[in-house]
Amino acid sequence: MTMSNQKATEQPSAVPLEIPKGVKLLHDPLRNKGTGFSEDERQALGLHGLLPPRVLSEQEQASRIMENFARKPDDLEKYIHMIDLEDRNETLFYRVVVDHIEEMMPIIYTPTVGKACQQYGHIFQRPRGIFISRKFKGRVVEVLRNWPMHDVRVIVVTDGERILGLGDLGANGMGIPVGKLSLYTACAGIPPWQTLPITLDVGTNNEKLRDDPLYIGDPVERLRGKEYDDLVEEFVMAVQEVFPKALIQFEDFATRNAFTLLERYRDRVCTFNDDIQGTAAVALAGCYSAMRITGGRLRDQRFLFLGAGEAAVGIASLLTAAMSEEGLEEGEARQHCWLFDSKGLVVGDRTDLADHKKPFAHDLEGKTDFRAAVKTLEPTAIIGVSGQPNTFTPEILRTMADLNERPIVFALSNPTSKAECTAESAYRHTQGRAVFASGSPFDPVTLEGRTHVPGQGNNAYIFPGVGLGVTTSGARRVTAAMFFAAAKALANEATDEDLQTGCIYPSLTRIRDVSAVIATAVGEIAWDHGLTEKPRPDDLLSFVKSKMYDPTYRSYV
């Protein structure tokens, strides 16, 4: 395309925006290429003299980014380095992340993003996304219209009350939507101009933050009750008006709101909750893969969860559906899933149970010690989603090894500092027999000459592919069947070679291909269940791949 109309060739589904010239172009992160602008582009776009004379390729620029990345003294500085790049040159940012995904994911997302959120006001450089505070009540549509991109397809929204396992970080939680959407683009090719991070700044009950002079949010106590519900309702309905094709992902809301909001909106708008549904799907996929190692059947397993919040109930519910598919009655399948919360084993005669726990409250004498619960229930799998570090003690791990030839141990809490046990501990105290997965990454562990590669049950294996499937199919709703299909697709992508090392998930280096397969499975559900009006492609996988953003410089002349 020539510069006669000052428009550039764009990736699929891009909104054709006018290309600015000169300094304005260099300040546009979506189109800026820095020293990557060719001589012809520099002439046509008024860039001569504004850049060093030498033209560098995208790969040469990426090499410089990685060289400086390696010099940073710690992970938080590496995070700041990468976010600064994203603010200057999004294409180069995604090129680096895609090409170095295993090294970059722990920096731009968990665990480092947790540290970044804790320090967000102190490392803040440039705003990203939209902050919606209580003072905008009645004007949320107006606020959303301030966003310059109009074809938004994926929104990640948080109110910052339960950021990872770190608790209430208020408006500092914006690091989570920003990081999640970076993974939507890097892992599944959702075009960055179609994503929008949003924080509902409804205050914080974290007094330390409220007293911090550099806190970026409104330093008041959290909004509760009807006022909170009304603001969320206005936000959801405003999205339907301003961005009618957008998928809304609720992220890191406190348990009491997460279940309520999912039930309130799942049948009204295109939405899901990653902490409940995404975590469930990645855990179910890990269980399917574990069965390939142990040789068992899902319906014959007994699962004991340390934790009884969003993640635990989400996983237990999806496991129940999976075991029902293998022939168990739903009630019988639920009996295979047990929860253990801060007060002990969730049993039927407890009177203090929140509604979301009650379906998994079974008849048994209560236990207030997790190891005692393990001894009594004799689970084949323990799944940690408590946010309480080192609670899978050596004694508990040895008990699991006594009960099972190949005990399944999932320590899924994030960030790494919150993991229920380390990979080294899981393998060492089970004589290397554990089938282990964690939420945050751990290095391989070598015991008695054998190297064990821990699987990372990272939601990034699921939510980007689900989002890609929903957006490419035009699905009106996100359903439980989609997450079931996503879990099966992910499990099938773990190769025999992966499993031989003990890793129950495919390599992160394959994440874009895996996301395309998951998106295809999700799209099949959308068409099979009549959730879209789009014509069905003959080759859905090829269609999905054709819609994936590739972070490669485009020519402007």
Residue range 70-97: average pLDDT? 98
* Equal fold, 103-269 vs 277-459: yes
- The pLDDT of residue 122 is 97
Find the catalytic residue in 78, 180, 418, 547.
180
Whether cis (ω within 30° of 0) applies to the bond prior to 415 is yes
Span 290-302, pLDDT tens digits: 999 999 999 999 9
What percent of the chain shows pLDDT beyond 70? Answer: 97
CA–CA distance, 21 with 26 (Å, rounded to integer)? 8
Segment among 153-157, 344-348, 437-441 with least mean pLDDT: 437-441
Complete DSSP assignment for 42-79: HHHTT-TTTS-SS---HHHHHHHHHHHHHH-SSHHHHH
Report long-range pairs for 225-233 (Cβ below 8 Å, ≥24 apart). Answer: 227/134, 227/137, 228/202, 228/257, 230/137, 231/132, 231/134, 231/137, 231/140, 231/200, 231/202, 232/200, 232/261
pLDDT given at position 225: 96
pLDDT of the residue at 265: 98
90-99 vs 58-71: helix axis angle to the nearest 10?
Answer: 70
Average pLDDT over residues 363-379: 95
3-state secondary structure of 469: helix
pLDDT band at 13 (very low <50, low <70, confident <90, very high): very low
Q: Where are the domains of the chain?
A: 3-102, 103-269, 277-459
Beta bridge partners of 305: 339, 383
pTM: 0.93
Alpha-carbon radius of gyration of the chain: 24
Residue 3 has pLDDT above 50, yes or no: no
Q: How confident is the model at residue 17 (pLDDT cuts 50, 70, 90)?
A: low
Nearest Cα neighbor of 467 from 516, 533, 532, 524 is 516
pLDDT tens figures, 131-190:
999 999 999 999 999 999 999 999 999 999 999 889 999 999 999 999 999 999 999 999
Q: What is the pLDDT of residues 304-314, one digit of tens each?
A: 999 999 999 99
pLDDT surpassing 80 at residue 400: yes
How far is 263 from 268, CA to CA, in rounded Å? Answer: 9
- How much is the pLDDT for 437? 97
Give Cβ neighbours of residue 76 (< 8 Å, ≥ 6 apart).
112, 115, 116, 119, 123
What's the order of all strands across the beta sheet hosting 408-411? 344-345, 337-341, 303-306, 381-384, 408-411, 435-438, 455-456
Three-class secondary structure of residue 224 per DSSP: coil
Point out the catalytic residue in the list 109, 184, 461, 553.
109
For 241-275, write each residue's pLDDT tens digit.
999 999 999 999 999 999 999 999 999 999 999 99
Q: Which of 83-88's residues contact partners 24+ apart within 8 Å by CB, and which partners?
A: 83/108, 83/116, 83/125, 83/178, 84/125, 86/29, 86/182, 87/29, 87/125, 87/126, 87/128, 88/29, 88/32, 88/34
Cis before 16? omega within 30: no
Examine the pLDDT at 5 and tell me if it is beyond 70: no
Burial degree of 297 (CB within 10 A; 0-12, 13-18, 19+): exposed
Taking the CA atoms of 46, 51, 57 and 59 in sequence, report the sign of the dihedral they define: negative
Whether 7 is a known active-site residue: answer: no
CATH class of domain segment(s) 3-102: mainly alpha
CATH annotation of 277-459: 3.40.50.720
Would you state the CATH architecture of domain 103-269? 3-Layer(aba) Sandwich (3.40)
Coil, helix or strand for 382? strand
d(CA 385, CA 308): 8
- Give the strand pairing for 337-341 and 408-411: unpaired
Q: Are 488 and 288 in contact (CB under 8 A)?
A: yes
Torsion on CA atoms 99, 102, 105, 111, rounded to nearest 10:
-160
At residue 4 the predicted structure's pLDDT band, cuts being 50, 70 and 90, is very low
180 catalytic, yes or no? yes
Cα distance between the two ends of the chain: 6
Q: Mean pLDDT across the stretch 529-541?
A: 97
